[in-house]
Amino acid sequence: MAEGIALFDVYRFNPEKDSGPHRKKYEVELQKNMTVLDGLRQVQERRDGFLAFRASCQGGQCGACAMRINGRVRLACETRIETLGKHVIHIDPLPNLTVIRDLVVDMGPFWQSYEQIRPWLSPDVHHVEREHPQAPGDRERMDAYTGCILCGACYAVCPAVRRTPWFVGPAALAKVFRFVADSRDGDAGERIEALNSHAGVWGCDTTFCCIRVCPKGVPTTHAITAMRRKLVMKKIKGILSLIPLERESTTG
Protein backbone atom coordinates (compact mmCIF):
# COMPACT_ATOMS: atom_id res chain seq x y z
CA MET A 1 0.00 0.00 0.00
CA ALA A 2 1.28 3.45 -0.91
CA GLU A 3 2.48 5.58 2.02
CA GLY A 4 1.91 8.98 0.42
CA ILE A 5 3.27 10.82 -2.58
CA ALA A 6 6.59 12.57 -3.18
CA LEU A 7 7.28 14.90 -6.06
CA PHE A 8 10.54 14.21 -7.90
CA ASP A 9 11.83 17.34 -9.64
CA VAL A 10 14.37 15.90 -12.08
CA TYR A 11 17.02 17.47 -14.32
CA ARG A 12 16.45 16.43 -17.94
CA PHE A 13 18.74 16.99 -20.90
CA ASN A 14 19.22 15.08 -24.11
CA PRO A 15 22.01 16.91 -25.98
CA GLU A 16 20.92 15.22 -29.23
CA LYS A 17 17.41 16.72 -29.07
CA ASP A 18 17.12 19.49 -26.49
CA SER A 19 18.35 23.06 -26.93
CA GLY A 20 19.22 23.12 -23.22
CA PRO A 21 18.56 21.47 -19.86
CA HIS A 22 15.08 21.64 -18.35
CA ARG A 23 13.28 20.07 -15.39
CA LYS A 24 10.36 17.67 -15.15
CA LYS A 25 8.21 16.81 -12.16
CA TYR A 26 6.95 13.30 -11.44
CA GLU A 27 4.69 12.00 -8.69
CA VAL A 28 6.14 8.98 -6.91
CA GLU A 29 3.98 6.63 -4.83
CA LEU A 30 5.91 6.04 -1.64
CA GLN A 31 6.43 2.64 -0.02
CA LYS A 32 8.10 1.98 3.33
CA ASN A 33 11.91 2.33 3.24
CA MET A 34 11.84 3.38 -0.40
CA THR A 35 15.09 4.85 -1.72
CA VAL A 36 15.56 7.62 -4.28
CA LEU A 37 16.76 4.93 -6.68
CA ASP A 38 13.50 2.98 -6.14
CA GLY A 39 11.63 6.20 -6.90
CA LEU A 40 13.58 6.79 -10.11
CA ARG A 41 12.90 3.22 -11.21
CA GLN A 42 9.19 3.77 -10.56
CA VAL A 43 9.26 6.93 -12.68
CA GLN A 44 11.02 5.04 -15.46
CA GLU A 45 8.56 2.12 -15.31
CA ARG A 46 5.30 4.04 -14.90
CA ARG A 47 5.74 7.57 -16.19
CA ASP A 48 8.72 8.17 -18.44
CA GLY A 49 10.70 5.30 -19.95
CA PHE A 50 13.18 7.75 -21.46
CA LEU A 51 14.53 9.00 -18.13
CA ALA A 52 18.23 8.04 -18.04
CA PHE A 53 20.25 7.29 -14.89
CA ARG A 54 22.92 4.78 -13.84
CA ALA A 55 22.54 2.09 -11.20
CA SER A 56 23.51 -1.52 -10.71
CA CYS A 57 24.02 -3.18 -7.32
CA GLN A 58 21.28 -1.31 -5.37
CA GLY A 59 23.36 -1.87 -2.26
CA GLY A 60 25.97 0.90 -2.08
CA GLN A 61 28.75 -1.19 -3.58
CA CYS A 62 29.12 -0.40 -7.30
CA GLY A 63 29.24 3.41 -7.07
CA ALA A 64 27.09 3.83 -10.20
CA CYS A 65 24.18 5.79 -8.73
CA ALA A 66 25.97 8.88 -7.32
CA MET A 67 23.96 12.02 -8.06
CA ARG A 68 22.91 15.28 -6.43
CA ILE A 69 19.81 14.90 -4.26
CA ASN A 70 18.37 18.03 -2.71
CA GLY A 71 21.67 19.76 -3.36
CA ARG A 72 23.88 17.12 -1.76
CA VAL A 73 25.92 14.52 -3.68
CA ARG A 74 25.13 10.99 -2.48
CA LEU A 75 24.19 7.49 -3.59
CA ALA A 76 20.56 7.22 -4.73
CA CYS A 77 20.36 3.59 -3.61
CA GLU A 78 21.41 4.49 -0.07
CA THR A 79 19.19 7.55 0.33
CA ARG A 80 15.84 6.69 1.86
CA ILE A 81 13.19 9.18 0.76
CA GLU A 82 11.68 9.45 4.25
CA THR A 83 15.02 10.69 5.63
CA LEU A 84 14.96 13.70 3.30
CA GLY A 85 12.04 15.21 5.21
CA LYS A 86 10.67 17.01 2.16
CA HIS A 87 7.77 16.48 -0.23
CA VAL A 88 9.67 17.78 -3.26
CA ILE A 89 12.95 16.00 -4.04
CA HIS A 90 15.32 17.80 -6.41
CA ILE A 91 17.52 15.42 -8.39
CA ASP A 92 20.48 16.50 -10.51
CA PRO A 93 23.48 14.89 -12.21
CA LEU A 94 26.94 14.97 -10.61
CA PRO A 95 28.57 18.39 -10.95
CA ASN A 96 32.09 18.88 -12.43
CA LEU A 97 31.34 16.30 -15.18
CA THR A 98 29.65 16.68 -18.58
CA VAL A 99 26.09 15.43 -18.89
CA ILE A 100 25.63 12.68 -21.47
CA ARG A 101 21.91 12.48 -20.84
CA ASP A 102 19.64 13.38 -17.89
CA LEU A 103 21.38 12.03 -14.75
CA VAL A 104 24.14 10.19 -16.66
CA VAL A 105 27.49 12.00 -16.77
CA ASP A 106 30.70 11.31 -18.65
CA MET A 107 32.99 9.71 -16.06
CA GLY A 108 35.91 9.77 -18.55
CA PRO A 109 37.97 12.51 -16.81
CA PHE A 110 37.54 10.75 -13.46
CA TRP A 111 38.77 7.42 -14.88
CA GLN A 112 41.64 9.06 -16.75
CA SER A 113 42.88 10.62 -13.49
CA TYR A 114 42.57 7.28 -11.81
CA GLU A 115 44.54 5.43 -14.50
CA GLN A 116 47.33 8.01 -14.33
CA ILE A 117 48.27 7.07 -10.79
CA ARG A 118 48.92 3.35 -11.53
CA PRO A 119 46.25 1.97 -9.17
CA TRP A 120 47.83 -1.41 -8.68
CA LEU A 121 50.37 -2.94 -6.30
CA SER A 122 54.03 -2.81 -7.40
CA PRO A 123 55.63 -5.35 -5.07
CA ASP A 124 59.13 -4.78 -3.78
CA VAL A 125 61.47 -6.75 -6.09
CA HIS A 126 62.67 -8.76 -3.09
CA HIS A 127 59.15 -10.00 -2.49
CA VAL A 128 57.76 -10.89 -5.91
CA GLU A 129 58.78 -14.55 -5.75
CA ARG A 130 57.20 -15.34 -2.41
CA GLU A 131 54.14 -14.77 -0.31
CA HIS A 132 54.32 -11.48 1.55
CA PRO A 133 52.01 -11.56 4.56
CA GLN A 134 51.05 -8.38 6.37
CA ALA A 135 51.04 -7.84 10.10
CA PRO A 136 47.67 -6.57 11.45
CA GLY A 137 49.30 -3.21 12.23
CA ASP A 138 50.51 -2.84 8.63
CA ARG A 139 47.06 -3.66 7.35
CA GLU A 140 45.46 -1.11 9.70
CA ARG A 141 47.61 1.68 8.24
CA MET A 142 45.96 1.27 4.83
CA ASP A 143 42.51 0.02 5.88
CA ALA A 144 40.68 3.35 5.72
CA TYR A 145 41.81 3.83 2.10
CA THR A 146 40.65 0.50 0.71
CA GLY A 147 36.89 1.10 0.82
CA CYS A 148 36.58 3.36 -2.25
CA ILE A 149 33.82 2.25 -4.64
CA LEU A 150 34.83 4.77 -7.35
CA CYS A 151 31.49 6.56 -7.28
CA GLY A 152 33.08 9.90 -8.23
CA ALA A 153 31.18 11.85 -5.55
CA CYS A 154 34.38 13.39 -4.17
CA TYR A 155 35.60 14.37 -7.64
CA ALA A 156 32.22 15.95 -8.41
CA VAL A 157 32.28 18.31 -5.41
CA CYS A 158 35.99 19.19 -5.53
CA PRO A 159 36.55 22.93 -6.12
CA ALA A 160 40.12 22.23 -7.28
CA VAL A 161 38.86 19.88 -10.02
CA ARG A 162 36.34 22.54 -11.11
CA ARG A 163 39.08 25.17 -11.32
CA THR A 164 41.91 22.97 -12.62
CA PRO A 165 40.70 20.06 -14.76
CA TRP A 166 44.16 18.45 -14.81
CA PHE A 167 44.16 18.11 -10.98
CA VAL A 168 43.86 14.33 -10.46
CA GLY A 169 41.30 14.73 -7.68
CA PRO A 170 40.69 13.24 -4.25
CA ALA A 171 39.83 9.61 -5.14
CA ALA A 172 43.00 9.12 -7.19
CA LEU A 173 45.15 10.74 -4.49
CA ALA A 174 43.61 8.58 -1.76
CA LYS A 175 44.28 5.52 -3.91
CA VAL A 176 47.95 6.49 -4.25
CA PHE A 177 48.18 6.75 -0.49
CA ARG A 178 46.54 3.33 -0.15
CA PHE A 179 49.62 1.89 -1.93
CA VAL A 180 52.09 4.22 -0.20
CA ALA A 181 50.76 2.88 3.12
CA ASP A 182 50.87 -0.73 1.91
CA SER A 183 53.86 -2.56 3.43
CA ARG A 184 54.04 -4.81 0.33
CA ASP A 185 54.45 -1.99 -2.19
CA GLY A 186 57.93 -1.13 -3.37
CA ASP A 187 57.16 2.12 -5.16
CA ALA A 188 56.08 4.56 -2.43
CA GLY A 189 58.85 7.10 -3.11
CA GLU A 190 58.22 7.29 -6.88
CA ARG A 191 54.45 7.35 -6.42
CA ILE A 192 54.58 10.43 -4.18
CA GLU A 193 57.28 12.14 -6.22
CA ALA A 194 55.12 11.79 -9.35
CA LEU A 195 52.43 13.84 -7.58
CA ASN A 196 54.75 16.59 -6.34
CA SER A 197 52.95 19.25 -8.40
CA HIS A 198 49.73 21.25 -8.66
CA ALA A 199 48.19 18.43 -10.71
CA GLY A 200 48.91 16.27 -7.66
CA VAL A 201 49.06 16.85 -3.91
CA TRP A 202 49.68 20.62 -4.10
CA GLY A 203 46.51 21.22 -6.15
CA CYS A 204 44.16 20.55 -3.24
CA ASP A 205 42.56 23.50 -1.37
CA THR A 206 42.07 21.40 1.80
CA THR A 207 38.35 22.19 1.93
CA PHE A 208 37.40 18.69 3.19
CA CYS A 209 34.31 18.65 0.87
CA CYS A 210 35.44 15.28 -0.50
CA ILE A 211 35.44 13.65 2.93
CA ARG A 212 31.99 15.04 3.70
CA VAL A 213 30.35 13.39 0.66
CA CYS A 214 32.22 10.07 0.57
CA PRO A 215 29.69 7.25 1.16
CA LYS A 216 32.47 4.98 2.40
CA GLY A 217 34.19 7.40 4.76
CA VAL A 218 37.50 7.38 2.87
CA PRO A 219 39.67 10.07 4.52
CA THR A 220 40.78 11.54 1.19
CA THR A 221 42.07 14.87 2.50
CA HIS A 222 44.14 13.14 5.20
CA ALA A 223 45.83 11.07 2.48
CA ILE A 224 46.73 14.27 0.63
CA THR A 225 48.13 16.02 3.70
CA ALA A 226 50.09 12.89 4.69
CA MET A 227 51.77 12.80 1.29
CA ARG A 228 52.52 16.52 1.47
CA ARG A 229 54.17 15.94 4.85
CA LYS A 230 56.32 13.17 3.39
CA LEU A 231 57.46 15.42 0.53
CA VAL A 232 58.28 18.27 2.93
CA MET A 233 60.21 15.91 5.25
CA LYS A 234 62.18 14.59 2.30
CA LYS A 235 63.06 18.14 1.25
CA ILE A 236 64.12 19.07 4.80
CA LYS A 237 66.27 15.95 5.07
CA GLY A 238 67.91 16.82 1.74
CA ILE A 239 68.72 20.35 2.99
CA LEU A 240 70.02 19.07 6.35
CA SER A 241 72.28 16.57 4.63
CA LEU A 242 74.06 19.50 2.93
CA ILE A 243 74.79 21.44 6.14
CA PRO A 244 77.93 19.50 7.32
CA LEU A 245 79.41 19.85 3.85
CA GLU A 246 78.88 23.63 3.94
CA ARG A 247 80.56 23.82 7.38
CA GLU A 248 83.52 21.78 6.15
CA SER A 249 83.89 24.02 3.12
CA THR A 250 83.82 27.25 5.26
CA THR A 251 86.29 25.91 7.85
CA GLY A 252 88.55 24.15 5.34
Any contact of residue 172 with ligand SF4 (CB under 6 A)? no
Closest approach, Cβ 118 to ligand SF4, in A, equals: 17
Tell me which of 144, 204, 223, 227 binds ligand SF4, using CB under 6 A: 204
The DSSP secondary-structure symbol of 128 reads T
Binding mask 56-75 for ligand SF4 (x = CB under 6 A): -------x------------
Residues of this chain that bind ligand FES (CB under 6 A):
55-58, 60-65, 75, 77
Residue 91 binding: pick among ligand SF4, ligand FES, none (C-beta 5-8 Å cut-off by kind): none
Q: How many residues bind ligand SF4 (CB under 6 A)?
A: 29
Any contact of residue 207 with ligand SF4 (CB under 6 A)? yes
Tell me which of 154, 181, 192, 227 binds ligand SF4, using CB under 6 A: 154
Provide the 3-class DSSP secondary structure of residue 15: coil
Any contact of residue 206 with ligand SF4 (CB under 6 A)? yes
CA angle (250 as vertex; 244, 252 as ends), nearest 5: 95
> What are the E-state strand segments in 132-247?
none
CA distances in angstroms from 204 to 129, 210, 220, listed in the order given: 38, 11, 11
CA distances in angstroms from 110 to 60, 125, 160, listed in the order given: 19, 31, 13
Residue 159 binding: pick among ligand FES, ligand SF4, none (C-beta 5-8 Å cut-off by kind): ligand SF4
Residue 154 binding: pick among ligand SF4, ligand FES, none (C-beta 5-8 Å cut-off by kind): ligand SF4
Any contact of residue 174 with ligand SF4 (CB under 6 A)? yes
Provide the 3-class DSSP secondary structure of residue 189: helix
Question: CB under 8 Å to 133, separation ≥6 — which residues?
Answer: none
Q: 5: part of which helix (H) or strand (E)? A: strand 5-12
Q: How many angstroms separate the CA atoms of 51 and 78, rounded?
A: 20
Footprint of ligand SF4 on this chain (CB under 6 A)? 63, 148-154, 157-160, 170-171, 174, 204-210, 213-216, 218, 220-221
